[in-house]
Amino acid sequence: MKSLFRLSLVLAILLPLASFGFELFAFGGCVIPIVTPIVASISVYVLMLAIVLFPFVFIADLIAAIILWKRHGRRSFLPLVLIIISFLMTFPLNSLAHNLSHKRFERHLTQYEQVVSQIEHNFTSEKNYVIPSGWENLSYVPPIVYREDDGSLTIEFLVGGIGPPPRHIVYVYRSNGIIEEGSKTAKRWHHTTKEKERWFRASD
């Protein structure tokens, strides 16, 4: 009982963090300056583990509560209650994560557009283009660049993730300002919202 309670308590703390932790700790989406890339990577994996463990711990808490009800009474449901409360907290925190990400994007929009301008100027093909310096503070992997069938250019900046369930978060630049149904971008990212002219926030 004590071991299960401790595990549930730890998970109850980590799970709400997981709902916006990627925005806080992922290197590209970092809003805490003291977080280094190594700490960021470790933090993201810990939060992902919390999301994966949640359903298993939930089921274990439920079974334990039923079995131990006669012996411990209401206390047997405490781990289960902790898990449920932590899960419910993820919904408002998801909204907070979105707001944090949006504010950060607006703050660094000039840098994003500088990188985009340099890529557009040097782009010749999907196999032959140069990623300019300066992207490191905008995306935790090099920007992904490709052309649609109509010739329009797409540049994706992976800025982090969010959950549960875990999803990647990207900022997408579209040279024609739209994401057409059936396009490569639409197939890659199922959820998109327009942030600025030619800029979209997307997730899978």
- Give residue-wise pLDDT tens across range 180-190: 888 889 898 88
Contact between 195 and 175 under an 8 Å Cβ cutoff? The reply is: no
Residue 174 CA, chain-centre distance (Å), reads 21
Residue 128 CA, chain-centre distance (Å), reads 29
pLDDT of residue 132: 82
Q: Which residue has the tokens 């308590």?
A: 9
| DSSP 8-state code for residue 99 | H
Contact between 18 and 164 under an 8 Å Cβ cutoff? The reply is: yes
Contact between 195 and 201 under an 8 Å Cβ cutoff? The reply is: yes
pTM above 0.75, yes or no: no
pLDDT of residue 31: 45
pLDDT of residue 21: 57
pLDDT of residue 172: 94
Tell me the β-bridge partners of 168. Answer: 161
Spatial distance between the Cα atoms of 125 and 144, rounded to a whole number of angstroms: 12
